[in-house]
Structure 1
C-alpha cells in the first residue's frame, strides 16, 4: 500500500489548537541518514541505551501490519537516550528493516555505516553518525511507552516524518 501524501507543516497547522497531548512534535534535531523520504506508519518502540540487541530483534521481525485498506509499514522508534557514544543502527540492521517491510526508523541516538544506510532503501533519521558499534548485552525493552527528547511516544501511535520534521499522533491523521 502506498502512503498517502502529507506534509508535516500542514499536519501541524491542522492540529495547532490541539491541547490534548494526542498530537506531538519531536524536537528539530533529527537528520536523514538513510533514504531521504517522507514516511509514516504506526509506531513500534524500543528502549536501547548503547545496546542494540532489542533493535536487532525488532528489525528482524515483520515490520508491517495488515489493515482493511492493505498492508502498512510500521515505524521503529528507538529511545537511545540521546547517546552519541555508540551507534544503535547500521547498514545490516537497516537492510533487515527494509527486507521485513518497515516504513522507517527514528533513532534518538547515533547510527553508523552511512553508505550502507543510504543503500538499504529505507528512511533512517537519527541525531548523528558514530563509527563505534553498540555493545551486545541483551538489554533493552520493546513495545513500551518511551520518551524521545521529552516527547512521549507509545506503541500504536502514528508517526509522520518528512524534510521539515517529525510529528506523532495518538490516531492516524490521513
Structure 2
C-alpha cells in the first residue's frame, strides 16, 4: 500500500475498523503513513520513546499514550531524525511534540495533539507494548494503524493492498 486514504479504507472496511476521534494535527513531512503498532505509555517522560526510536523500526508506527499532557513534548527533532534513520514510518502521540518545523522537513509521519517547546525529564518511567486507550478507542501492540489528513484508523490486522 503506497498511498493511504482513510476515507477509502473506511468505505472498504468500516465494520472492522476503529476510527480515532479527530483531535490530532499533522506535523511530519509524510502526511500519509501506516504500519504495525508498537505502543509506549508514558507521562511527561520520553525515555522509552527515545529508546524505541533508536531501534530498527521496520516500517512500524510508534503509538505514544502521553496521557494527553500539553505540558511537555514527547518528541523532538533529534529523536525524530533517529526514527527516520532507523526505518520507522511514524508516530501517533497523545500529547505534544516540539521542533515542529524541523520535523515537518523529515520523511516521517507525525500526528500529535499540539506543540510545546519544553522537553521532558528523563526518568526512565513508562510501559512498552501495553494496550493504550485514548481518542475513543483502545490500541493494542500488533494492531495496524493508517493515518492521513482525514484521520486515523486502526485495524486488528494488516489491510489488503
The TM-score with structure 1 as length reference comes to 0.88
2:147 maps to: 161
Cα distance per residue 1:48-90 (max 9 Å; x no partner):
11000010111000101xxxxxxxx001100011110100000
> Superposed, which structure 2 residues align to 1:51-130 within 5 Å?
51-64=45-58, 73-130=59-116
Is contact 1:82-1:149 (8 Å) kept?
no
Matched, 1:37 2:31: yes
- The alpha-carbon deviation at position 122 of structure 1 amounts to 0.9
1:134 counterpart SS class: coil
Is contact 2:33-2:148 (8 Å) kept?
yes
The TM-score with structure 2 as length reference comes to 0.95
Report which of the two structures shows the higher radius of gyration computed on alpha carbons.
1
Gaps of 5+ in 2: none
- The alpha-carbon deviation at position 23 of structure 1 amounts to 1.6
RMSD: 1.2
1:26 maps to: 20
Count of matched residue positions in the alignment of Structure 1 and Structure 2: 160
Distance across 1 between alignment mates of 2:95 and 2:46? 11
- The alpha-carbon deviation at position 10 of structure 1 amounts to 1.3
Gaps of 5+ in 1: 65-72
Distance across 2 between alignment mates of 1:104 and 1:145? 18
2:81 counterpart SS class: helix
